Chains A and B, each alone.
Chain A
Amino acid sequence: MNPRIHRLRGIRVGWGVLALLMMMGIHAAQARVVESANPTALGQDPLNMHIMEGFLPPMWAIIWFVVALPFWIIGLRQITRLVATKPESRLLLGVSGAFTFVLSALKIPSVTGSSSHPTGTGLGAILFGPFVMSVLGGLVLLFQALLLAHGGLTTLGANTVSMGIVGPLVAWTIWKAMQNRAPLWLTVFLAAALADLMTYVTTSVQLALAYPDPMGGVVASFVEFGTVFAITQIPLAISEGILTVIIFNALMQTAVNELRTLGVQGA
């Protein structure tokens, strides 16, 4: 068994182990397909934790769509307004969506080995706001379902909530709350790291709700899982945060004009 499990001894960890296995599984499984499909590429394993097509019971699939819907509607309104006032933002949004998708293929080193990550969504939320990002996130997930056979159509709502809504919302809230009150690097770091962490926590909550532990029940598996999961995910989130700070610093040095055009304050 994995040595990590020994560290978790003494806690009931049904869903925690599930999540770990999912992460390892997707790395092992997805990386293999991708490498053989595209030997020259950096392994394009996508964001490493989506709920697969058919994994959620119909009721939960629908519930998560209903949760995502208001964000999509507001986001779509904002995009329509943005495009009406600044026509060039149409292409910019499309390119940003593609950037988010491609960035998810970039691997970063972490304590648990190299890993892919949803950096793009945190960055996107800082640039465009959380509602617009929920629409872009939904589109990115659609692309992943159709181009990478990863994620799915019935689970699009659930995956949008974790990756396209909760993550960006966390990043954006921290960005707004801490701006001009803390050093920029700290703000960016926390926004990216916590957005990353909360994305995974949301996915685990979604799974725990749909399939509660037979011994612990929903609430028990919730709490235990949250604790364990946060512990295993923190190193990854830290790498994520560091990477986003490096990206942001590089952008501040070389792309100040672009950032100003996008309305990033402090640039």
Chain B
Amino acid sequence: MQLIDRYAYANRLRNIDPAQKTALAVLVIGLCLLLNRPAVGLVATAWMGGLTVVRAGVPWAVVGRVLLAEGLFLVLAVVGVALSFSTSPPPPPFRSFQVGALWIGGNPASFSLAGLLVSRALGCAAAMNFLALTTPLMDLVHLLRQLRMPPVLIDLICVMYRFVFILLERMQRMHTAQQSRLGYATRRAALRSSGLLASRLFVDAYQRSTRMQTALESRGYTGDLRVLPLNYRYDARLSVLGAAVGSSLLLVWGFS
């Protein structure tokens, strides 16, 4: 998590208007879903992975690792789509084999659907990764404010974003402390320690929120957390690239 957040702040596309980056990601996700072809998904994966590495300067190892994890998960997830399980041998066009009393079978249609799902979801995931790895959450908050998201929600997101990291650090410290005292040595102890940890974390979170309330109120807080937006710039080259991505996806769709 800290990995993605770190590159979101330190990449070469950081000061480009978040609206532009979001538009690109949404365009690719939309095209992947609507065109619905395996080749489109694969081309989209290559484009978005490439853009993240080449234009944003995120190391390819990082981009690859995130994408690989998603790919592994996907391949496992579509096994159920590709294969069917039954107690009797399935009729053709199913091709099947027997494991014990269980027949595992699949037909060409189910295999191609599985392939389509993997490539489509991978293309969408690559587009999401592009957005996540180039745009910090606070920039997206700025965008959401422009899109007229209710201010209460925006405040909630700001507070959450700050506290996620604070609480995570707290939790890791408590976990280390418990572990060094054999708190997770047995299953029973682990359950007890987790419960203690969660309850202390809750109290800590609660008390922090009241302290923060006091601190903010004493500085004139009326329920609006304002953050100065960066001076974002519009990147013409990214728009051209976006148009190239879009048209290449359409081309691939037309040819497949």
Contacts and interface: CB of A to CB of B under 8 A. Distances in A.
Interface of A: 1, 5-6, 9-15, 17-19, 21-22, 24-26, 28-30, 32-34, 36-38, 40-42, 44, 52-55, 57-58, 61, 76, 79-80, 83, 87-88, 90-99, 101-103, 105-109, 114, 119, 123, 135-136, 139-140, 142-143, 145-149, 152-154, 207, 211, 213-216, 239, 242-243, 245-251, 254-255, 258
Given A215-B90, A250-B195, A103 B201 contact: yes
B129 to A, nearest CB: 6
Interface in B55-73: 65-66, 68-70, 72-73
B209 interface: yes
Given A54-B121, A106-B198, A98 B76 contact: no
Contacts of B85: 12-14, 17
Contact of B223 (A10, A83, A143, A243): A83
B229 interface: no
Interface size grouping (class) on chain B: 35 or more
A106 B156 contact: no
A1 B197 CA distance: 36
Interface stretch (B9-17, B100-108, B236-244, B248-256): B100-108
Given A29-B72, A55-B121, A119-B198, A148 B191 contact: no
Interface string B102-126: 1001010110010001001111110
Given A91-B209, A139-B160, 19 more contacts: A12-B84, A18-B80, A22-B77, A24-B76, A26-B73, A37-B1, A53-B128, A54-B29, A55-B117, A79-B156, A91-B210, A95-B159, A96-B205, A108-B190, A214-B84, A248-B199, A250-B198, A250-B199, A254-B200
Given A14-B85, A41-B168, A246-B191, A145 B69 contact: no
Contact of B1 (A44, A114, A239): A44
A57 B30 CA distance: 11
B168 A22 contact: no
Nearest to B197: A106
Interface of B: 1-5, 26, 29, 32-34, 36, 41, 65-66, 68-70, 72-77, 79-81, 83-87, 90, 94, 99-102, 105, 107, 109-110, 113, 117, 120-125, 127-129, 131-132, 137, 140, 150, 152-153, 155-164, 166-168, 171-172, 175-176, 187, 190-192, 194-203, 205-210, 212-213, 216, 223
Given A9-B100, A79-B152, A211-B113, A92 B206 contact: yes
23 contacts: A11-B87, A17-B79, A18-B80, A21-B77, A21-B80, A22-B76, A25-B76, A30-B69, A55-B74, A90-B223, A95-B160, A95-B205, A95-B209, A98-B164, A99-B167, A106-B194, A106-B197, A139-B157, A149-B66, A215-B90, A215-B105, A246-B196, A250-B198
Contacts, number: 297
Contact of B205 (A14, A99, A153, A243): A99
Contacts of B83: 14, 17
Main secondary structure of the interface of B (DSSP, over half): helix
Give the most central of B125, B127, B158: most A CB within 10 Å.
B125
A42 B171 contact: yes
Given A57-B33, A91-B213, A95-B209, A251 B2 contact: no
A98 B159 contact: yes
Contacts of A101: 160, 164
A42 B172 CA distance: 7
Contacts of B80: 14-15, 17-19, 21, 207, 211
Given A22-B73, A90-B156, A211-B113, A149 B196 contact: no
Given A33-B66, A91-B213, A255 B199 contact: yes
A54 B123 contact: yes
